[in-house]
Structure 1
Amino acid sequence: MNHIVAAALMGIASALPAHAADKDIVDTAVGAGNFATLAAALEAADLVSTLKGDGPFTVFAPTDAAFAKLPTGTVDNLLKPENKQQLVDILTYHVVPGKVMATDVVALDEAKTVNGKMIDVQVDGGAVKVNEANVTATDVAASNGVIHVIDQVIMPPEG
């Protein structure tokens, strides 16, 4: 394992609260202030109670800016009740069972998500990507897991 990469990942500046370990994943993200779209999506998909559960969970959390990169109307469309299953599929693609810290992520080539599909993990120097999303902050502790912040919404493969 490359300890330099792990140290670089852990050194990435985070906009999340420093003492979040006493809050669950949902409350930690909501408290950060830049995950309102993710919070609304979790609520629309009825996943809030799940991510407030025991876990542990590893969440690759897209920021509001990441959701804003989606084509116009995508988020509004996904939040409609008739598209709930598609929203669930997308959101559960951002969650890996267990607590996978940055030092573990850099040793992976892929990880199986809660929805059953694999995400690719690429490490290049001090940069880490999950699929095409850049990991911008790591190891944000929560009482029931860990959050790694990403700059894009990742979409599960079809089929």
Structure 2
Amino acid sequence: MKKILLLSLALMMCSFAVLAQAADTDPVGNVPALGSMKSTAGDSMLPANDIIQNIAADKDLSIFYKFVNSANLAETYESKGPITIFVPANEAFESLPPGKLDTLFKPAHVWELTHILAYHAIAGKFSTKELHKRINKHKGSTTLTTISGGKLIAKTDGDNNIILEDETGGQCIISRSDIAQSNGVVHIISKVLLPKAKAV
């Protein structure tokens, strides 16, 4: 279970005007606001540190860090990697259904939490340049296989921002990208990605 990884999310359009304009041209379709494009998460990260060291030191990622510890996944994120991880900032957890955050912290839900966290990570190092390259090669979207074995769809919106779509149809945007780690790369997202429910 320790070899399973992470959560993640993203941010989208800031104003109603942008959303209204994008409704006709955005290949993602009529999607609710995906979050602010501005993010301070990741400001304190140093490329010489591993993913866990950097997340632990960033107050804007404290909820995700607590989740990683609750699921006993710190050792996984400290591994040599490389790992690409989509990390939800603290405000991203507001997108979860009411009460879900507290439920995930309960010991009885550790498997569900681990599955969600692993759904936010991909083996290998994927910069936004590489993601754009794959999206263009596959004519508008590409499928990413997460460490949990689940699938994420990556595509771009009308402003060339990378959109991630999870297995439940939820969508988010990468709000801050390409934060170098000693064992991979971190992309900050503004909503939690949710895999399909998995029977235990």
TM-score (normalizing by structure 1): 0.87
Structure 1's 19 and 35: CA in aligned 2 closer, same or farther, altered over 3 A? Answer: closer
Say if 2:40 and 2:60, in contact at 8 Å, map to a contact too.
no
Say if 1:17 and 1:28, in contact at 8 Å, map to a contact too.
no
Residue 54 (1) aligns with residue 93 (2): no
Residue matched to 1:116: 149
Gapped regions of structure 1 (runs ≥ 5): 1-11
Residue matched to 1:9: none
In the alignment, residue 36 of structure 1 is paired with which amino acid?
A: S
In the alignment, residue 162 of structure 2 is paired with which amino acid?
A: V
Identical-pair percentage: 27
Aligned length: 148
1:89-100 maps to which residues of 2 (within 5 A)? 89-100=115-126
Structure 1 residues 61-119: Cα deviation after superposition (integer angstroms, max 9, x where no partner): 00100012212211110111110110010000000001111101123312100000110
Counterparts of 2:43 and 2:130 in 1: how far apart (Å)? Answer: 22
Residue matched to 1:63: 89
Structure 1's 64 and 13: CA in aligned 2 closer, same or farther, altered over 3 A? Answer: closer
Say if 2:41 and 2:89, in contact at 8 Å, map to a contact too.
no
Residue matched to 1:158: 197
Counterparts of 2:105 and 2:39 in 1: how far apart (Å)? Answer: 30
Aligned alpha-carbon RMSD (Å):
1.6
Q: Which structure: larger Rg?
A: 2
Gapped regions of structure 2 (runs ≥ 5): 1-37, 135-141, 166-170
Counterparts of 1:105 and 1:13 in 2: how far apart (Å)? Answer: 20
Counterparts of 2:75 and 2:61 in 1: how far apart (Å)? Answer: 17
Residue matched to 1:127: 161
Bigger proportion of residues as strand: 1
